[in-house]
Structure 1
Amino acid sequence: MKKIPVEALKRIAEEYGAGELVLIARFPKPDEQGHNLNIVTYGQTDEQAGFAAMAGRQLAAVLEAQPRSLQDALEVASKIRPKDVEGGDRNG
Structure 2
Amino acid sequence: MSTELGTVTPLPPRMITTPTRQQRSNAIRSAVDQFAARVDLTPAQRHLLGLVIDEAIEAVTPRPSTLAPGNASNETMLPPA
| TM-score interval (norm. to shorter) | 0.3 to 0.5
Query: What is the TM-score with the length of structure 1 in the denominator?
Result: 0.35
User: Normalized per residue, which structure has more strand?
Assistant: 1
